[in-house]
């Protein structure tokens, strides 16, 4: 493993704008996939559907079943001024912390309207880091109305200048994994977007177990690092949970040294948090930030998308396979016109 580098600038790379995927592939399982073999240092090119045969014998695949909330809410003030809110965290029923764009003149107690007046909230309190605490009317109906009127919280590098009905419907379906079942995320666990029920079924037929965990993806996963020494970065907390049955299975797998393949960095963070806590808790809040040098206690392999330069996600993956190896893989992906980020292609690291 290369010497550890704690400088943020060491996790940078140049990406042509044209390689940032603006739309998903026509079919979920038609993405391309790089295979990185850590022991040999080999890199090879595959179609995603080949993952069925590439997963190791008798391994276990761990997936994150969080479901993305349509948490992006276009709105306006009573003055008619245009605003937009991104719901970040539910503090209590109907009370959400939110990042509000163009919120400079909002006053405490002001009534705000969202989604053409279908949702209304009072700006209750200005919070740290530019967020507001919003108190929604008819709190018991909020999540139902979000599903009906809210927009998918796409990351800013996916450009949707006008949320047309067509784009909205495509994004509602495709910015969500086929196994999403636990509402609460404000971003998708994007490595899971490639899977179809048929692919999952084929994996099970090979005798590979599939276990579900939940981590509600929030600001912790995609907030930028503002310090050059990455060891000084502090992650936001995110909620995780597993069933008691899954917890017991994971303990057995670790004891028996069964190969665990994580689907996405969010699954990694759940498993490593559980291991750090010695499997004493099945739910809670995690702010784990994984960077080299780090001894992975649970993971033998990882399926992940290509991540933003200098992101906590890229740093986590570097800790697993080595920074130089990862950067050489990214260079190959760029040279072969792979599609990057949320709607892009992926890599399997074994």
Tens of pLDDT, residues 81-131: 999 999 998 899 999 999 998 877 899 999 999 999 999 999 999 998 779
Query: How much is the pLDDT for 3?
Result: 55
Q: Which domains does the chain have, with CATH numbers?
A: 8-68+175-349 (3.40.1780.10), 72-150 (2.40.10.240)
Residue 140: cis peptide before it, omega within 30 degrees of 0 = no
Query: How much is the pLDDT for 222?
Result: 72
Nearest by Cα to 23 from 347, 341, 346: 341
The residues, any chain, with a CB within 8 Å of residue 11's CB and separated by 6 or more, are 230, 309, 310, 311, 314, 315, 318, 323
Q: Give the DSSP letter of residue 151.
A: B
Q: Is the pLDDT of residue 178 over 80?
A: yes
Q: Is the pLDDT of residue 6 over 70?
A: yes
Whether 31 and 194 have beta carbons less than 8 Å apart is answered as yes
pLDDT band at residue 169 under the 50/70/90 scheme: confident
Span 40-89, pLDDT tens digits: 999 999 999 999 999 999 999 999 999 999 999 999 999 999 999 999 98
Residue 68 phi/psi, 5-degree rounding, is: -75, 130
Nearest by Cα to 341 from 98, 106, 155: 155
d(CA 330, CA 56): 23
Bridge partners of residue 92, in order along the sequence: 95
Query: How much is the pLDDT for 127?
Result: 92
Span 319-337, pLDDT tens digits: 999 999 999 999 999 999 9
In the chain, % of residues over pLDDT 70: 97
d(CA 228, CA 41): 29
Q: Is the pLDDT of residue 347 over 80?
A: yes
pLDDT band at residue 2 under the 50/70/90 scheme: very low
Q: Biggest alpha carbon distance in the chain?
A: 63
d(CA 202, CA 53): 9
| Average pLDDT for 166-180 | 89
Query: How much is the pLDDT for 157?
Result: 92
CA distances from 284 to 73, 252, 270 (A): 28, 21, 10
Whether 102 and 139 have beta carbons less than 8 Å apart is answered as no
pLDDT band at residue 167 under the 50/70/90 scheme: low
Bridge partners of residue 61, in order along the sequence: 210, 261
Helix axes 265-276, 244-255, angle to 10 degrees: 80
Nearest by Cα to 66 from 204, 202, 168, 183: 183
Whether 241 and 66 have beta carbons less than 8 Å apart is answered as no
pLDDT band at residue 221 under the 50/70/90 scheme: confident
Q: Give the DSSP letter of residue 20.
A: B
Query: What global pTM score does this model have?
Result: 0.93
The residues, any chain, with a CB within 8 Å of residue 211's CB and separated by 6 or more, are 60, 61, 62, 63, 246, 249, 250
d(CA 149, CA 85): 13
Span 286-319, pLDDT tens digits: 999 999 999 999 999 999 999 999 999 999 999 9
The residues, any chain, with a CB within 8 Å of residue 48's CB and separated by 6 or more, are 29, 30, 31, 32, 33, 194, 345, 346
| Average pLDDT for 6-14 | 97
d(CA 295, CA 279): 17
């Amino acid at each position: 493993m290369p010497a550890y580098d704690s400088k943020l600038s060491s996790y940078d790379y140049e990406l042509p704008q044209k390689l940032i995927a603006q739309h998903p592939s026509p079919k979920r399982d038609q993405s391309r996939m790089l295979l990185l073999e850590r022991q040999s240092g080999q890199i090879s090119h595959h179609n995603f559907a080949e993952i069925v045969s590439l997963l190791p014998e008798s391994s276990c695949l761990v997936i994150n079943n969080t479901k993305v909330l349509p948490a992006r809410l276009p709105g306006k003030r009573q003055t008619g001024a245009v605003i937009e809110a991104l719901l970040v965290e539910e503090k209590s029923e109907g009370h959400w912390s939110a990042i509000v764009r163009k919120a400079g003149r909002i006053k405490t107690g002001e009534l705000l309207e969202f989604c053409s007046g279908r949702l209304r909230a009072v700006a209750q309190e200005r919070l740290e880091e530019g967020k507001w605490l919003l108190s929604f009317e008819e709190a018991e109906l909020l999540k139902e109305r979000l599903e009906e009127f809210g927009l998918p919280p796409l990351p800013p590098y996916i450009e949707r200048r006008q949320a047309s009905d067509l784009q909205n419907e495509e994004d509602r379906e495709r910015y969500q994994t086929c196994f999403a079942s636990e509402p609460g995320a404000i971003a998708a666990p994007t490595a899971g977007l490639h899977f179809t029920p048929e692919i999952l079924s084929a994996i099970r037929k090979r005798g590979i177990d599939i276990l579900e965990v939940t981590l509600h993806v929030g600001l912790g996963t995609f907030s930028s690092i503002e310090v050059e020494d990455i060891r000084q970065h502090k992650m936001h907390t995110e909620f995780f949970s597993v069933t008691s049955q899954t917890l017991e299975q994971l303990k057995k797998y670790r004891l028996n040294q069964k190969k665990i393949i994580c689907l996405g960095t969010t699954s990694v963070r759940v498993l490593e948090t559980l291991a750090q806590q010695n499997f004493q808790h099945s739910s809670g809040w995690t702010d784990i930030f994984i960077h080299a040098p780090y001894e992975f206690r649970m993971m033998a392999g990882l399926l992940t998308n290509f991540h933003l330069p200098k992101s906590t996600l890229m740093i986590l993956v570097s800790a697993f396979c080595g920074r130089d190896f990862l950067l050489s893989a990214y260079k190959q992906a760029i040279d072969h016109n792979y599609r990057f980020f949320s709607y892009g292609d992926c890599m399997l690291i074994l």
